Structure formats: structure tokens, C-alpha cells
């Protein structure tokens, strides 16, 4: 089989951190990398955690909706307003799907935390549930008048009500729902390997990771 290609970043020259001043230096380094053999000088393996994200505040919702859904801030807030005011869910009637969308506090009511933790335990099992609820601190100066942006009911799963929402309403609701559920799950675990590769006086570093436990990533995928 052919060797597998991978990326390695140039990190050191003569044992010191790399700082290229101009294009000519970069071209010189490129030439040096082409003329000598490569040797793996060090391999470090370790387990790393990726912690869940806090539930959405307004600014974070706008940022994530732009990254994942290509929604402008204005569009995000317009859709969030409709989700808050309520949408017709057929036999269920008109239901407000999210809490108030203008907030800078990640605080969540104890009742909502209890509901989502029960849902996680039922759906994913004990291994995904922290022994205690995850608590997120507000930024300094944040107002505590409102909770974080979250679903009004964990039972209104996005796929259960999808047929009653248009594409954009459903996409933003699912983003909010997933983030809220993920915030009360355990961290994801990865086996991470860093390999230092020596090429003359230069050192390159290649990194790779293998997920060993999904944790919150089973619900909320980081962009």
C-alpha cells in the first residue's frame, strides 16, 4: 500500500521556536526540507478532554448560527423571536419553543436541569451523565434577569416537531436544543498523539487524535 499522507507543522529551528521574517527565509526552509532525510525523534501520547459548551447566550447564538447556518445576526434574532412567541404544532396547539432570546446569562433553572439530565440518562445511559449538573458562570457584569436560551420543554425534540416548522425555524431550534442537551453531558475523550519529526536543524510536529468517548459530541457537534 502507498504511504498515508499527513500534515506536519514547522515548529523549531536549531531548537528554537520558528519565526520566519520574509518570503526568502520561507523558501530557504522549504528547500532545506527537500534535501535531507526525515526522522521521527519523539512521540507523545496522551488522553485529552473536550468539555461541553455552555448553553447559548444571545451573542454566542448569533455567532454559532452564522458559522453553522450562515444566518445573519438579524435573521437569527427574527427567527428566535418567532420560536419564543410560539408556533403552531398541530394537535398540541401553539407553543413557545424557547426561553427569552436576549440574555447574557448562562444560568438554567433547576427544573430544566433536572429534566434534561433525566432525558440524557434515558437516551444515552449513565456513562454520559455527570455525577453533578454542569454549572456555567456568567461573565462579569452580566444581568441575571433571564436564563440562558434553551428549549421550553426537553420533550419537544426537534425531530418530533420537524413537520410543523419551516426549514430555518427548525434549524435554529435544533441548534438551541442540541447545545442545551450537550451542556449537561460529560466531556468527550480523545487519544492524542504528537510526533516530532527532525529534518536537519528543523523540527516539524504532526498531531492526530482518535475519539474514544463521544460525550457531549454525541449531541452537539462543534463546527
Q: Which residue has the cell 501520547?
A: 45
| Residues 55 and 166 sit within 8 Å (Cβ to Cβ) | no
Residue among 38, 100, 136, 173 flagged as catalytic: 100
Contacts of 82 (CB under 8 A, 6+ apart): 169
Instruction: Kindly state the DSSP code that residue 56 receives in the 8-state scheme.
Output: B
The three cell numbers of residue 45 are 501520547
116-119-120-124 Cα dihedral, nearest 10 degrees: -170
Work out the burial of residue 127: count CB atoms within 10 Å of its CB; fewer than 13 is exposed, 13-18 middle, 19 or more buried.
exposed
The answer to whether residue 128 is catalytic is: no
Long-range pairs for 169-172 at CB < 8 Å and ≥24 separation? Answer: 169/79, 169/82, 169/83, 169/87, 171/69, 172/65, 172/69, 172/71, 172/76, 172/79, 172/80, 172/83
Just list the catalytic residues.
Answer: 100
Amino acid at each position: 500500500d502507498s504511504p498515508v499522507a499527513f500534515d506536519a507543522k514547522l515548529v523549531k529551528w536549531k531548537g528554537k521556536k520558528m519565526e520566519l521574517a520574509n518570503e526568502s527565509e520561507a523558501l530557504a526552509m522549504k528547500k532545506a526540507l527537500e534535501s535531507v532525510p526525515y526522522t521521527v525523534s519523539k512521540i507523545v501520547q496522551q488522553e485529552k478532554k473536550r468539555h461541553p459548551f455552555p448553553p447559548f447566550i444571545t451573542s454566542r447564538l448569533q455567532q454559532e448560527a452564522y458559522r453553522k447556518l450562515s444566518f445573519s445576526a438579524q435573521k437569527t434574532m427574527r427567527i428566535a423571536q418567532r420560536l419564543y412567541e410560539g408556533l403552531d404544532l398541530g394537535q398540541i396547539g401553539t407553543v413557545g419553543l424557547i426561553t427569552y432570546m436576549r440574555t447574557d446569562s448562562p444560568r438554567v433553572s433547576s427544573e430544566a436541569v433536572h429534566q434534561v439530565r433525566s432525558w440524557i440518562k434515558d437516551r444515552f445511559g449513565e456513562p454520559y451523565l455527570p455525577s453533578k449538573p454542569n454549572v456555567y458562570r456568567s461573565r462579569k457584569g452580566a444581568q441575571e434577569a433571564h436564563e440562558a436560551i434553551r428549549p421550553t420543554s426537553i420533550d419537544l425534540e426537534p425531530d418530533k416537531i420537524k413537520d410543523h416548522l419551516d426549514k430555518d425555524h427548525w434549524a435554529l431550534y435544533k441548534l438551541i436544543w442540541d447545545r442545551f442537551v450537550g451542556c449537561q453531558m460529560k466531556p468527550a475523550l480523545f487519544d492524542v498523539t504528537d510526533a516530532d519529526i527532525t529534518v536537519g536543524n528543523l523540527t516539524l510536529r504532526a498531531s492526530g487524535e482518535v475519539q474514544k468517548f463521544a460525550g457531549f459530541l454525541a449531541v452537539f457537534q462543534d463546527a
